[in-house]
Every structure is written in structure tokens, then in C-alpha cells.
A and B are shown apart, each in its own frame.
Chain A
Amino acid sequence: MAETTVDIIETEEGQSPKNIQRFLTFVSDNITFGVSTDYVIEIISSYMICTLPMVPDYIKGIINLRGQTIPIIDIRLRMGKMPQDYTDATCIIILEIKDISVGIVVDSVTQVLDIDLDRISPIPTQNQQELTSSMISREDGSVILFLDCEELISQ
């Protein structure tokens, strides 16, 4: 499970207890993204992707996860970035979004954070990335973009 594989849990300061949600952060193309742990099923790092013909390039194929077949999306390609060879740090985050399971290939997974939803702000339009709509800037100056999961599975 996500919470156990990534055990660094950082708490944001000035939290108000009601609007806290947990987010898993990961890095893709040097940008840190966050995805709500509500969607995350697990993180896997060993896999055999079976490629599918005649699909968009960001669909890497399907994997067999304990008898279930799960489509794999390369988040770099999905966002129109350059592809990169998969390394040991590369892993797949299995998400379940509205009963649809998909896996996303990310460069690396960093940590799980408790984030106050009230502090999330929309992204300025000139910096808009595909599949993201909101962001949060943290004390250390780093920025986390939040992945819009439902956008990910829609056409």
C-alpha cells in the first residue's frame, strides 16, 4: 500500500484539522505532482508491460496485476513531454478512478503529504499544464501540481 511503501509523512504547518487530505507526490519530468491517496491503490516497481498495437503512444500497454489487466499510461507522454528510458526509480502508480483502474508511469515516487485543501490555489493560466488545475506552494519554495484524475481517464 502507498502509505507503507512511502513512509515519510510530513505535516504541513498551520493546518486546520477539517480540510486535510493525504496526497501522494511523485516526480515526472522534474515537476512534482500530487495525487489524492483516495485514488491510489498501490505502487509497483516490477512489471512486464504487454504493448498494444494501434493505440496512442502514451498508452504503454497492459499489465497483469494478480489476474487483473490494467492499462498503463505514461504520464510524460500523456502530457506531451519527451519520453525517457525507464530506470530503477521508474514505477507505476495504480489508481482507481470511478471504478476504472489505470496505472501511470512516473519517474519516481517521493512521499505522502497531509495537505490542507484550503491552501490549494488554481494554477495561473500561463503556466497551465495538461491534466492539472490546481497547485500548492510549500514553505521551502517548492511547488506541487495536483493531478486531475478524472481528466486523466476521460477522452
Chain B
Amino acid sequence: MDASMESLLETYLFETNSLLDGLDELLINAEKIGDFSEDDVNEIFRSMHTIKGSSAMLEFNGLMEIAHHIEDLFFYIRENGIDSLDQTHKSELFNLMFKSTDKLRSEIEKVENNEPLETNIDSFVGEINGLLKKISGEGSDTDDSKDSGKAEAPAESAKAAIPVSVSDIPYFIHVYFEDGCGMENLRAFMIVNALQERELEFTYYPDDIDRNPDSAEKIIEDGFYIGFHTEEALENGATVVGNAQNIRSYEMMENQESPAPEEHEPEEKAAPAEKKAAPPAASAPAKNKSDAAPAKRKEAASHGAVKQDLISVNLSKLDALMALVGEIVITESMVTSSPDLQGLNLDNFNKSARQLRKLTDDLQDISMSLRMVSVSGVFQKMNRIVRDMKQNLNRDVRLTIIGENTEVDKTIVDGIGDPLMHIVRNAIDHGIEENVEDRIAAGKDPQGEVILSATHTGSEVIISVSDDGRGMDTDAILAKAARNGILTKPESDYSQKEILMLLMTPGFSTNTEVTEYSGRGVGLDVVKKNVEAIGGVVSITSELGKGSCTTLKIPLTLAIADGMEISVGKSIFTVPISNIRQSFKSTESEIILDPAGHEMIRCMDAFYPIVRAHELYNIPDACTKIDDGILMWVEASDKSYCLFVDKLIGEHQVVVKPLPPYLQQFHIKDSGISGCTILGDGNISIILDIAHVYEAARGIF
């Protein structure tokens, strides 16, 4: 596969995947209401049309066939109105559509993985056609002869009654497109749109350019005809055509033999053309003949605008940009704080340096924001999971989504998909009561609720999944953990919090029965691992009988953090500002020892353990007396303690660099080091992971 094909394929995959995602969302929403709106039908039709077209271009015939038949189905629905379907047909349609998007998605996945595509899709296509037959058999008398391959069967027959002949029209423009410019039908359609914008009255031939890709052939051979009824319109039309692109030639012609223009026909023809014309390209509402049209057109226009403002960029390019910007930030401070400049009075230099700093800061902010995407994509996928589980497990659950527009780093969005899926499944499978009676008896809404929410808090995003189910039985968990032999201390020593943490121990699953969705015993520990991989923490809270809540706390971005530089002996460390609660001086006399000899100090009426950084990391020449150094009260997830360091150096924005991969084998993360950063002078500072520092310290005690 050559490079151009490769990029074509990439675009195709991106486009098709986003269309399928959009479809899923649409289907879920439509199913909630139990009906397709006219817009939905149009949207599905358009998406299928695009998938069909691009699949055909890349010769993925199976995909094309499926999309084509769904397109047929929706063409019929669009022509006859969704109301022509009764309720059973609708639910069948929903199931079929979900199945189809799954099917398409699985095929796309095969394309992605370079696996051979399924060639035998007859049974699936048969299913689609079966439904179409069923609907059309009852909905209207139109024939079933749709094997013509055209989606337009009913409409076509209607139109055949008014044969399109150019000769009825007094004036027309005959347009030829440039040889090999491709997509002639779409180009013609763009002209039609432009003409509609000018509020001209006209007809065109071939008239099925927006639906029938084969019309491109006709246009190549015979040219594209636009008919006008007045000379004025012709002149106007000619300027529009003249401004269009990729036109080889056009000529204005006057049809001498034409009879008086037929009033009826253009009206008739313009109307359907307009109604169907809701492509993204339409940018302004044209004159509208029906009442439904304005809203629809407007929506189409805004859709178009959104799509045109987006470009897709390879993530690796963004990563390269980020790395480069990081370097610039470091180099900038290397230059402006160069020791060579010490003691010099450089007014102009300082001025320019300030300007440079501002610009690099802006550059950094913008490049950071490039990677931020909203979590809505991931959240919407949960809708689908809830729907499927609802059907298969027969539980009435609704999913409420809060804050789906919260933006986080792209790598994080990618990272939370799987864990979130696990959690949502767990919530429904283990959380929500099996029987509606149990819920009613407990005085709850018969319909279970799972709330998926995302919120920002400073440098973290908090994603929580809560259900109003039966909650977790801590005794049962403890008993099970004991059975599985994963307890590390006597049962009575476990606090409620610790018991819930047991759920995330490898090899734990409370459901004795294995269902399709959960209970394989590889649930929450995998979730925990995945979330930790992106720097987050998982916590579970639960109240028996009232429900449980799983919370993920994840850093907004992995690349840049505000950090406080601290020194211990000759080493310099960086502590993320978000972890610091307070820094204060203290004296030896305020230190209290617990029975095991661990140091503690009182802050705000509570006692917190002290971790001495120099002891933990064996750093020589550091302050050992509490009076000489400084205590930093830090907090991370559920851990809160005081870190004893020599002194604070200052606050900086740091570019987080991962530690070299070679060092991973020494379990460096467990010693409380999350990464490193390069300081302005080129030295390296180690970034501390506050939660792990405490664990490492406890390991030493």
C-alpha cells in the first residue's frame, strides 16, 4: 500500500469510525424516545451514504453492501415518513440498526487490523431486506423490486411519471466538468446548492445527483443541464456556474422549440430536491417551501460549519509538537537565566526576554489545549453498554450522564474507556437489584439509575460511576476474600474502606456466576491497573442497600504540571503543587512519637505522620533537625502526611518527562518517583509521586 493510499485509509477509518459513533449516539437517543425524528432518519441516511461511498472507493465491498442496504431501508422510511411504521417494526428497526452498526464496526476493526474482511454478508443483507419488505409490504403498495440496486425505487417510480426532459425549458446551461476531477455528481450538487442560495428557480438534470453516485457517469458523458424559465435567471445562473470550480466549459443555450414553461413541473421538482438537499455543504437556508424545511436546513448548515472547522491530526505529530514546545520552554529559561548575564544591566534584553516568555507561555498553553478532548465520546459508548445489558440481563436501568463536555488529555480519554466500561458493567450487573420487586420493597424507583459524571477540580478530573442499587455487603466481601486467601491481616482488623479496596485485588469477584458481562474475576484489579497507568487512582464507596460509587481521580494532563521545587541535601525534587496543602516551619518539641517510634505532628487538630525525605532516600548532607528544615503537608488520594525537606526553592511550571524505560525494571515508581523534569539550568529534578512516597516510606518503617 503506498503512502497516498495509506493516508486515504487513515482518513476513511477516522471518518467512518466517527460516523458510527455518531450513529450509536443517535440510535441510543432515538430509542429512548422510542422513535426516529425526521432529522434522525436523514442523518442515518446521510451517514450510510457516506460510508457506502467511501467504502466503495476503497473497495470494501462487504461494508459497502451493508451500508447500501441500510441506506435503501432508510430511503424508504424517509420517503414514507417514520409514522408509517408501527411500534413492532420500530423496535425491530432499532435492533437491526444496533446490529448493523456493530457489524460495520467489527468490519472496520478488521480493516484496522489488516485482517481479511467478511465476504459473505448475504444473510445480514437478507435481514435488512427482510425488514424493508416487511415495512414496505404493509406501509404501502410499492413493489419489492429493489434489486435494481437503487435506493430510490419508490421515488423513482413517482418521478418517472414526469419524465425529465430538458426540452421543456426555455433556457438552460450545459456544464462540463474538468476531465478526471472526480465526484462530478457532488460538484454538480454544489452548483445546485449555490443556485438555491441565490433563490433562483431552476431545474436540473440528471436530477438524482445527491443520491445516485452513478449520476457522475452521466454527467461525465452528457454534461450537467440546468434549466431556467427566464432569461434573467439564466444570466444569474451563469455567474454562479462561472464561479464554480473544476468546470471545463459551460454554455448558455436557448431552447427555441420549448413551449410555454409549465408552471407545475418546476414547483414539483424543486420541492423534493430542496427537501432532500440537507447535505453538510448547504451553508445558508434557501427559500423554503415546507415548514419543516427551515429548521432542518439550519441544522444541516450548523453541522456543516462544525465539520469544516475540524481537522484530524495524527497524534504522533501532536506528541512531537508537545515535546518540541517543552524543549523551547526549557531552552527559553536557560537563555534568559543564563549565568553569563548575571550582574549585567540589560534593559532591552530583559524587555525582549519578557516578551519571549509570554509568547512561549502562550505557545505552551495552546499546544496543551490541542490534546484536550471532551470525554463525551467515551461516555456515549457507555450508553450503548447500558442498553445492551438492559436487554440481555432484563434489568431496567437508565444511565444519566453529567459533565460529558469535560475536557481531558487525549491519552487519558483513551485510557479510561476500558476501565469505565468495566465499572459500568459492574454497577449494573452487581449493583442494581435483579428483581424490580426488591427495589420497590426498598422504596426505590423501580427503574435503576447509574450516574456517570465527570468534573474538573484544579489539576484533576474526577469521573464517578454511581448506582442506586443494593450496595456492597462488606461482610460478604470479607468472607469471600478470606476464602480466596487474599487477606493479609486478621479479618477484624479490616476497616470498611480497606474491605472495599479488597475488591480491586487480583483474583476477586463477588459474583459466583459468570455472565457475559462480568464475573470473570478479572474486573476491578484490571481497572485499577489501567487507571494507575494513566496516573489516576480508583476508590470505591458503598452503603449497603443504598448503592455504591466508584470514583476515578485522574490528572488532567500527563505532560505539564505546576511543581514546587524542593531541595534535600544536594538533590532537587519537584512536588506537584496540587498535592501540597501547606508548608510550615516546626520545632523538635512539637513532634510526637507514636508507640512504634514513628514521628507525627499536629496540623489543624489532626495528627499526621512525618516522612523524612533524606531518610527515605538515604541522601547525605541533608538537614536532620526538624528546626532546620521545613515540613510540607501533602495530600494525595486518601493519604495525607508531612514531608520533611531541607528547603523550598520555588514554584515552576515543569514539563514532565517519563523516566527512561530502562529504569522501569527497578520498580522506580514504587519508590515514589513519577518522572523527571529538566530545570532551567539543564539539571534534572525528580518529580515525586506523593501517594507512592508514603507507601515507600511505610515499607521502610
Binding site for B on A (CB under 8 A): 48, 50-56, 59, 62-64, 67, 69-71, 100-102, 153, 155
Cβ–Cβ < 8 Å partners of B330 in chain A: 67
Cβ–Cβ < 8 Å partners of A48 in chain B: 682-684
Q: Nearest chain-B residue to A154 (Cβ)?
A: B665
Is the beta-carbon distance between B671 and A62 smaller than 8 angstroms? Answer: no
Is B657 in contact with chain A by the CB < 8 A criterion?
yes
Contact A55 B666, CB 8 Å, known A48-B682, A63-B684, A69-B684: yes
Per CB-CB distance, the 7 closest pairs between chain A and chain B, nearest first, are: A53-B617, A54-B671, A50-B684, A71-B660, A55-B666, A71-B662, A67-B327
Is B93 in contact with chain A by the CB < 8 A criterion?
no
Is the beta-carbon distance between B571 and A55 smaller than 8 angstroms? Answer: no
Is B678 in contact with chain A by the CB < 8 A criterion?
yes
- Chain B 10-28, CB-CB to A under 8 Å as 1, else 0, gives 0000000000000000000
A102 to B616, CA, bound (A): 26
Is the beta-carbon distance between B666 and A62 smaller than 8 angstroms? Answer: no
Is B301 in contact with chain A by the CB < 8 A criterion?
no
Cβ–Cβ < 8 Å partners of B678 in chain A: 64, 67, 69
Is the beta-carbon distance between A56 and B662 smaller than 8 angstroms? Answer: no
Q: Nearest chain-B residue to A99 (Cβ)?
A: B661
Is the beta-carbon distance between B666 and A56 smaller than 8 angstroms? Answer: yes
Contact A69 B657, CB 8 Å, known A50-B683, A53-B616, A64-B682: yes
A102 to B323, CA, bound (A): 20
Cβ–Cβ < 8 Å partners of B696 in chain A: 54
Binding site for A on B (CB under 8 A): 323, 326-327, 330, 571-572, 616-619, 657, 659-663, 665-666, 668, 671, 673, 676, 678, 682-686, 696
Cβ–Cβ < 8 Å partners of A52 in chain B: 663, 668, 673, 686
Cβ–Cβ < 8 Å partners of A101 in chain B: 660, 662
Q: What total count of A-B pairs have CB within 8 Å? A: 68
Cβ–Cβ < 8 Å partners of B323 in chain A: 67
Is the beta-carbon distance between B663 and A55 smaller than 8 angstroms? Answer: yes
Cβ–Cβ < 8 Å partners of A59 in chain B: 663, 666
Cβ–Cβ < 8 Å partners of B660 in chain A: 62, 69-71, 100-102
User: What distance in Å separates the Cβ of B623 from its nearest Cβ neighbour in chain A?
Assistant: 17
Cβ–Cβ < 8 Å partners of B668 in chain A: 52, 54-55
Our pick among A50, A51, A155 for the contact of B665 (Cβ within 8 Å) is: A155
Contact A50 B686, CB 8 Å, known A56-B666, A71-B662, A153-B662: yes
Cβ–Cβ < 8 Å partners of A62 in chain B: 659-660, 663, 676, 684
A101 to B662, CA, bound (A): 8
Is the beta-carbon distance between A100 and B661 smaller than 8 angstroms? Answer: yes
User: What distance in Å separates the Cβ of A55 from its nearest Cβ neighbour in chain B?
Assistant: 5
Is the beta-carbon distance between B684 and A64 smaller than 8 angstroms? Answer: yes
Q: Nearest chain-A residue to B683 (Cβ)?
A: A48
A48 to B671, CA, bound (A): 22
Is the beta-carbon distance between A102 and B684 smaller than 8 angstroms? Answer: no
A153 to B684, CA, bound (A): 22
Q: 22 pairs across A/B with beta carbons < 8 Å?
A: A48-B683, A50-B572, A50-B684, A53-B617, A54-B666, A54-B668, A55-B663, A55-B671, A56-B666, A59-B663, A63-B684, A64-B684, A67-B323, A67-B326, A67-B330, A71-B659, A71-B660, A71-B663, A100-B660, A100-B661, A102-B662, A155-B665
A142 to B685, CA, bound (A): 43
User: What distance in Å separates the Cβ of B701 from its nearest Cβ neighbour in chain A?
Assistant: 15
User: What distance in Å separates the Cβ of B328 from its nearest Cβ neighbour in chain A?
Assistant: 10
Cβ–Cβ < 8 Å partners of A56 in chain B: 666
Q: Nearest chain-A residue to B678 (Cβ)?
A: A64
User: What distance in Å separates the Cβ of B694 from its nearest Cβ neighbour in chain A?
Assistant: 14
A52 to B618, CA, bound (A): 10
Q: Nearest chain-B residue to A101 (Cβ)?
A: B660
Among A48, A71, A153, find the residue whose CB has the most chain B CB atoms closer than 10 A. Answer: A71
User: What distance in Å separates the Cβ of B287 from its nearest Cβ neighbour in chain A?
Assistant: 60
A64 to B684, CA, bound (A): 7
Among A48, A51, A52, A55, find the residue whose CB has the most chain B CB atoms closer than 10 A. Answer: A52
Cβ–Cβ < 8 Å partners of A67 in chain B: 323, 326-327, 330, 678
Q: Nearest chain-B residue to A63 (Cβ)?
A: B684
Contact A69 B676, CB 8 Å, known A52-B686, A101-B660: yes
Q: Nearest chain-B residue to A53 (Cβ)?
A: B617
User: What distance in Å separates the Cβ of B667 from its nearest Cβ neighbour in chain A?
Assistant: 8
Contact A69 B617, CB 8 Å, known A50-B676, A52-B686, A64-B684: no
Is the beta-carbon distance between A53 and B619 smaller than 8 angstroms? Answer: yes
Is the beta-carbon distance between B662 and A100 smaller than 8 angstroms? Answer: yes
User: What distance in Å separates the Cβ of A70 from its nearest Cβ neighbour in chain B?
Assistant: 6
Q: Nearest chain-A residue to B323 (Cβ)?
A: A67
Is the beta-carbon distance between B662 and A53 smaller than 8 angstroms? Answer: no
A153 to B571, CA, bound (A): 26
A54 to B661, CA, bound (A): 16
Q: Nearest chain-B residue to A55 (Cβ)?
A: B666
A59 to B662, CA, bound (A): 10
Our pick among A69, A100, A153 for the contact of B659 (Cβ within 8 Å) is: A69
A51 to B617, CA, bound (A): 10
Cβ–Cβ < 8 Å partners of B682 in chain A: 48, 64
Cβ–Cβ < 8 Å partners of B572 in chain A: 50
Cβ–Cβ < 8 Å partners of B617 in chain A: 53-54
Q: Nearest chain-A residue to B684 (Cβ)?
A: A50
Given contacts A64-B684, A69-B659, A100-B662, 20 further A-B contacts (CB under 8 A): A50-B684, A50-B685, A52-B663, A52-B686, A53-B671, A54-B666, A54-B671, A55-B668, A59-B663, A59-B666, A63-B684, A64-B682, A67-B326, A67-B678, A69-B684, A70-B660, A100-B660, A101-B660, A102-B660, A102-B662
User: What distance in Å separates the Cβ of B637 from its nearest Cβ neighbour in chain A?
Assistant: 21
Is the beta-carbon distance between B683 and A53 smaller than 8 angstroms? Answer: no
Cβ–Cβ < 8 Å partners of B661 in chain A: 100
A50 to B659, CA, bound (A): 12
A155 to B667, CA, bound (A): 12
Q: Nearest chain-A residue to B675 (Cβ)?
A: A69
A70 to B330, CA, bound (A): 17
A55 to B661, CA, bound (A): 14
Q: Nearest chain-B residue to A70 (Cβ)?
A: B660
Among B662, B671, B673, B686, find the residue whose CB has the most chain A CB atoms closer than 10 A. Answer: B662
Cβ–Cβ < 8 Å partners of B665 in chain A: 155
A71 to B571, CA, bound (A): 16
Cβ–Cβ < 8 Å partners of A155 in chain B: 665
A55 to B673, CA, bound (A): 11
Cβ–Cβ < 8 Å partners of B671 in chain A: 53-55
User: What distance in Å separates the Cβ of B539 from its nearest Cβ neighbour in chain A?
Assistant: 26
Q: Nearest chain-A residue to B685 (Cβ)?
A: A50
User: What distance in Å separates the Cβ of B617 from its nearest Cβ neighbour in chain A?
Assistant: 3
Cβ–Cβ < 8 Å partners of A54 in chain B: 617, 666, 668, 671, 696
Q: Nearest chain-B residue to A54 (Cβ)?
A: B671
Q: Nearest chain-B residue to A97 (Cβ)?
A: B662
User: What distance in Å separates the Cβ of A54 from its nearest Cβ neighbour in chain B?
Assistant: 4
A102 to B686, CA, bound (A): 18
Q: Nearest chain-A residue to B614 (Cβ)?
A: A53
Q: Nearest chain-A residue to B569 (Cβ)?
A: A51
A53 to B614, CA, bound (A): 10
A102 to B665, CA, bound (A): 14
Contact A64 B659, CB 8 Å, known A52-B668, A53-B616: no
A51 to B665, CA, bound (A): 17
A153 to B616, CA, bound (A): 27
Our pick among A64, A70, A100, A102 for the contact of B683 (Cβ within 8 Å) is: A64
Q: Nearest chain-A residue to B324 (Cβ)?
A: A67
Q: Nearest chain-B residue to A155 (Cβ)?
A: B665
A64 to B682, CA, bound (A): 7
Q: Nearest chain-B residue to A56 (Cβ)?
A: B666
Cβ–Cβ < 8 Å partners of A63 in chain B: 684
